[in-house]
Amino acid sequence: MKPTSFPPLKNDQFLRAARGLPVQRVPIWLMRQAGRYLPEFRRLRQAYDFFTVCRTPELAAEVTLQPLERFDLDAAIIFSDILVVPQALGMEVQMRKGHGPHFPDPLRSPEDVARLKAGDVHEELSYVYEALTLTRHRLQGKVPLIGFSGAPWTLMVYMVEGGPSKTYARPRAWLYSHPEASHKLLNRLTEVIIPYLKRQIQAGAQALQLFDSWAGLLGPEAFQTFAWPYLQRIAREIKRDYPEVPLILFARGAHHALPLYRTSDYDVIGLDWTMDPRQSRQAIGPHKSLQGNLDPAVLYASPARIREEVQRMLEAFGPHRYIANLGHGMYPDHDPEHVRVLVDTMHQASETLLQTSSTTASS
């Protein structure tokens, strides 16, 4: 992929916080910030199904920019889905209204791994790269653009379970009944994810987030056997070629893993809303930035209560090495005006705190 020239960046607060540099305010972006809670997104979805939007660069760019037109966010994240990787490997994925992703023909036995597409699958994913480049140009340097992928374990969960579940017993059972096949599948996914993320950088992504949304299904030993080695490999190989690009890891529910991140190649650790910021900072250490972790349910509260919770979150994290976010994604029935309260309050409160700290330090 040929390098592309992009407009200069105007707001680098997100990248500065990710790298541990001083900021003028705490940057904020939101997981699933482009999506069903926005009326303009719902109007577009009346005309196009979910994966058509993902696969059409013009539409993906339009949706990515929708929240930036409403809110003073400090980063954009490309509109796509983690399940485009299984699709590229030859698996059918349907997005069922009210139920989420569905695999009509999931992996039911170790022998099924052999039917995954072999070789380079990146021609199939070219629409993601095109959407990134188009969006980066249309941003005109307003804010940085984030690319992303699902983590190997989380993708395995979907590919083996096939759809929503109360227990996700099938993929967990594989780890104990078919450990060799599990590692074979996880390795195959890793070998796709690494070049997938590198090509996102080449296409215009200025930071990357790895979503291990189902990390919390694993106990400490299983996580260190079936998740962590692959997460480490992904970060190590990307940093080898792109040391300047911040890497964010969001491993939801993996409380026990926090000390592992201390010496990892990830620059930013995302916390879900069940994780205590102060305890997490102590476990991870001072040399990583943290991201998170407002409970999305707070956005159902009154504006006054949202402001209180934002202030409490800022005090817990502190304004340094911190990127504000939710502890998971936006919900479809969130009120966009409550998002505005969240974003504006974080900016105002953090600017005041940083100015006060600067004045105190210089006096």
DSSP H or E run through 183: helix 179-203
Among candidates 354, 360, 356, 296, which has minimal Cα distance to 320?
Answer: 354
Catalytic residues: 32, 36, 45, 81, 158
Rounded to whole angstroms, the Cα distance separating 268 from 284 reads: 10
Rounded to whole angstroms, the Cα distance separating 188 from 190 reads: 5
Rounded to whole angstroms, the Cα distance separating 142 from 137 reads: 10
Rounded to whole angstroms, the Cα distance separating 336 from 215 reads: 29
Among candidates 158, 186, 151, 46, which has minimal Cα distance to 101?
Answer: 158
- The pair of three-digit structure tokens given for residue 318, joined into one six-digit string: 């502190």
Q: Rounded to 10 degrees, what is the CA torsion of 96, 99, 100, 105? A: -70
Report yes or no: 259 and 284 within 8 Å, Cβ to Cβ: yes
Report yes or no: 151 and 218 within 8 Å, Cβ to Cβ: no
- The pair of three-digit structure tokens given for residue 21, joined into one six-digit string: 């540099």
Rounded to whole angstroms, the Cα distance separating 246 from 27 reads: 14
Phi-psi region of 325 (alpha: psi -120 to 50; beta: other; left: phi over 0): beta
DSSP letter (8 states) at residue 206: S
Measured in degrees and rounded to the nearest 5, phi and psi for residue 29 equal -140, 170
Q: Rounded to 10 degrees, what is the CA torsion of 309, 315, 321, 322? A: 0
DSSP H or E run through 57: helix 57-70
Helix (H, G, I), strand (E, B) or coil at 269: strand
